[in-house]
Structure 1
Amino acid sequence: MSYQTVFIVDDDIKITKLLKSYFDKEGFITYLAHDGASAVQSIKDKNPDIVILDLMLPGMDGWEICRKLRRESDVPIIMLTARDEETDRVIGLEMGADDYVTKPFSPREVVARTKAILRRTQKTAAKSDPIRVGELLIDAERHLVKKGNNELDLTPTEFKILELLATNAGRVLTRLQIVERVQGYSFEGYERTVDAHMKNLRRKIEDNPKEPRHIVTIYGVGYRFVVGGDGE
């Protein structure tokens, strides 16, 4: 039997023990770290299926850990923050986090979001037919995106959003539709952070992110993927 693994990084020992008890009950193998310096190497060594990462850590904060992990890995990351500020959430998402949870939180919610992310990443991996849209190749089975001959480095959430947009090329998708299709759930305020993921995608797939040709904003509505025309 194979077990899914989760790595929790938080300097609050009570929180890590509480989350571990819930994940253990759900059959996860759970690893813990309580400071940023030890977490980075431990995550590399354990190679978990998903990381739950507190922003406010001693020594090395969650933003820096996320930045270091994203240089070498596309492991899904859920950020924990005690600050209910949209700026913090957007910065985390722009650095490559897949989701965020604001403290205080329900442990059941954290487990549910973890399962939702793992379900969609596994579903993506189970697909076999590559998607070709213009100069882009999206290979779900290999979790690979290429633009021409260049392989692009996308996070799991960015990959899923691009796959969704590409399979609905020409169709306008609202932010709420994108959240529900990609995350598997929605909650108040998250739609606005879709823009952070779009900013990342434009930086990676567009020749000029400030004048996008593929990911086009439909103001007041959402986004549309254009196969080869002019953007905004």
Structure 2
Amino acid sequence: MRTIMVVEDEPAISRVLAAYIKKAGYECAVFTQGELAVEQLTTVQPALILLDVMLPGLDGWEVLREVRNRSTCPVIMLTAKGEIGDRLLGLNSGADDYIIKPFEPVEVIARIQAILRRPSHALITDHQKQYGSLRIDFKSRSVSLNGETLSLTPKDLALLLFLAEHPNQIFHREQLIERVWGIDYDGSDRAVDHAIKRLRQSLHPMPPEDGGIRTLRGTGYQFYANGAD
């Protein structure tokens, strides 16, 4: 079940939001301080963040910057400020939407659902791809999950890069051996199975709705990603 993180220091507002979020079928994690929300970002792994601007200590803009340094999680800003400059600041700083207080909780839920219906895959540059919380840089041959670089063996990394370059395509063991291990490889094709198992363990924190590696019995393996071409 997807988790919505609410970062709001007004108890009355956070209680109402939490009730509507749970009624809509999501988990809800409420934080009253921006610092704690940032610290718990990797642990909670929210599908979306509702972020108040006027927070004690680390304010909403600072929290947004920290979130964007670590994650591509969608963020909806909540604030009493309605000036166009504030809305533009939020959107230009990486927010996905902006809701002005006071608001109707049903509208907030509708905005959440609209954003979460968007494809999770986004092409960042010619050599980078983002699959939810997973970022892959094909030029530097690096992979990060929730902002943290994954430590993979050279072959495991090569396998993941190959599969991610061809999202939603199915490859059987022989094809993967030829494309990743090389045509001169004379070991067992079970090496593919072992590498897939290790990759799944490394990608375990990745929410299933963002993507992952799928086994199609009798057919092969696939890196599936919602919204990928």
Correspondence for 1:103 among 81, 101, 121: 101
Give the 3-state SS of the residue equivalent to 1:96 in structure 2: coil
Aligned length: 141
What one-letter code is carried by the residue in structure 2 that aligns with 1:21? A
- 1:72 alignment partner AA: R
Give the match for residue 67 of structure 2. 69
Tell me by how many angstroms 1:121 deviates.
3.2
Equivalent pair of 1:66/1:97 in contact (CA under 8 Å) = yes
TM-score under structure 1 normalisation?
0.54
1:13 aligns with 2:19: no
1:121 counterpart SS class: coil
**Cα distance in 2 for residues equivalent to 1:15 and 1:48:** 19
**Aligned to 1:114, what secondary structure does the other structure show?**
helix
Give the share of equivalent positions with the same residue, in percent: 40
Gaps of 5+ in 1: 152-232
CA gap 1:143/1:29 in 2 versus in 1, 3 angstroms: closer
Q: Structure 1: how far apart are the matches of 2:101 and 2:80? A: 5
Show the counterpart of 1:213.
none
Partner SS for 1:88: helix
Q: Deviations over 1:151-184 (max 9, x none)?
A: 9xxxxxxxxxxxxxxxxxxxxxxxxxxxxxxxxx
Larger radius of gyration: 2
Match of 1:120 in 2: 118
Q: Greater shift after overlay, 27-36 or 139-148?
A: 139-148
* In structure 2, C-alpha distance between the alignment counterparts of 1:39 and 1:139, rounded to whole Å: 26
- Structure 2 spans left out of the alignment, 5+ residues: 142-229
* CA deviation profile, 1:38-74 (whole Å, cap 9, x unmatched): 1211223211111000000001100000001111111
TM-score, normalising length from structure 2? 0.55
Shift of the alpha carbon at 1:136?
Answer: 3.2
Q: 1:48 aligns with which of 35, 41, 46?
A: 46
